[in-house]
Homo-oligomer: A and B are copies of this chain.
Amino acid sequence: MEKLYVIKVGGNILDDPEQLSNFLTAFASISGSKILVHGGGKIASAIGRKLGIEPVLVDGRRITDAETLELVTMVYGGLINKNLVATLQKNGCNAIGLTGPDANIIPAVKRPVQSIDYGFAGDITNPESINSDVLEVLLDAGLTPVFAPLTHDGKGTMLNTNADTIAAALATALAQKYEVELLYLFEKKGVLRDVINEDSVIPNITETKYEQLKNEGIIAAGMLPKLDNAMLALRQGVKQVHICHASAVEALAQGHKFTGTTLSL
C-alpha cells in the first residue's frame, strides 16, 4: 500500500510566523501523499474579540453560538486555510484547502445537548461516514488536502469540530487504502512523563503501556483525549501515531528518524 501522512498542526505553531514558515517549508518537501489538518483557536479568539465576541471555553472546548460559528467559519475556513494553501503553493506543494462540506468529505452531527450545550459543535459519528473516495481522487491528482476544523450537518449548517478529531477520522477512513501515519504536532517534544520537564519524553507507548501510564496518573489530563483518539485510530487500522514537536517534520522530510512519542498497538 502507498504511504500517506496525516499531519495535524496545533495553534501555537500557527501563531508563530517563524515556526510556521519552517514547518510549511518542511511539510511541502515531504515526498508522496500527505494531508494537513490545522487548528486556529487563538486567532479566532483574537479576531472575535475585535468583533465583540468573547470566547467561551469549557474544558478547552469552544462553545459555538451562532455568531461564533460565523467567526470560526471565516477564520478557520478562510483566513487561516487560504493563507496556508497560498504559502504551500509558494513552496511547490499543490495544496487544496477544504472543510467538511466541501465534496461532503466530513459529514457530522450537531453535538446533542447533555450537561453542556456546546452549540454548533460537530461530532463525527463514524469514520466510515468520511467520503474517502473523493480524497483518493484528490490525492491521485497529486493534490495535498489542507483541512480547516469545520464540518457540516448535511442540512445546510456548518459545524465547529476539533482538529485532533478530524485528523484521527481522516487517518482512520483512509487506512483501508493507504499505509497511514498520523502525526500530532505541537509545541512540546512529545508525551512527557513529567509535564514541566521537556526531556522526559516517553518514546514509545503501546496499548498496554498506555493503560499502565493512565493508572499511574502519569499522563497529564489534557493529553488524554489526544491519546484516546490516537489509540482508537490504531485499533481501526492506522499504522502508527506520532506525537511530537512541529520541527519533527524537518527530519521526516529529509528521511531521518524524528524524536517524539510513537504510539502503536
Interface residues of A in 40-76 (CB under 8 A from B): 47, 50-52, 70, 73-76
Interface presence of A78 (CB below 8 A) = yes
A residues contacting B by CB (< 8 A) are: 47, 50-52, 70, 73-79, 81-83, 85-87, 89-90, 94-99, 101-104, 134, 137, 141, 143, 150, 152, 154-158
Q: Which residue of B lies closest to A144 (CB)?
A: B103
Q: Which residue of B lies closest to A104 (CB)?
A: B89
User: Which 3 A-B pairs have CB atoms at the shortest separation, nearest pair first?
Assistant: A78-B78, A77-B78, A90-B156
Alpha-carbon separation in the docked complex, A150 to B50 (Å): 24
Alpha-carbon separation in the docked complex, A155 to B92 (Å): 10
Q: Is the CB of B102 within 8 A of A96?
A: yes
Q: Which residue of B lies closest to A77 (CB)?
A: B78
Chain B hits for A154, CB < 8 A: 89-90
Q: Is the CB of A102 within 8 A of B79?
A: no
Chain B hits for A75, CB < 8 A: 74, 78
Which listed residue (B50, B77, B87, B134) contacts A82, Cβ 8 A? B77
Q: Is the CB of A85 within 8 A of B101?
A: yes
- In the assembled complex, the CB of A100 is this many whole angstroms from the nearest CB of chain B, namely 8
Chain B hits for A157, CB < 8 A: 86
- In the assembled complex, the CB of A102 is this many whole angstroms from the nearest CB of chain B, namely 5
Q: Pick 29 A–B contacts, CB within 8 A, sort by A.
A: A47-B51, A47-B74, A73-B78, A73-B82, A74-B78, A75-B78, A77-B78, A77-B82, A78-B78, A78-B81, A82-B101, A83-B158, A85-B99, A85-B102, A87-B156, A89-B101, A90-B154, A90-B155, A90-B156, A94-B103, A94-B104, A95-B101, A95-B102, A96-B102, A97-B98, A97-B99, A103-B143, A134-B143, A137-B137
- In the assembled complex, the CB of A2 is this many whole angstroms from the nearest CB of chain B, namely 18
Alpha-carbon separation in the docked complex, A76 to B78 (Å): 7
Which listed residue (B89, B134, B143) contacts A152, Cβ 8 A? B89
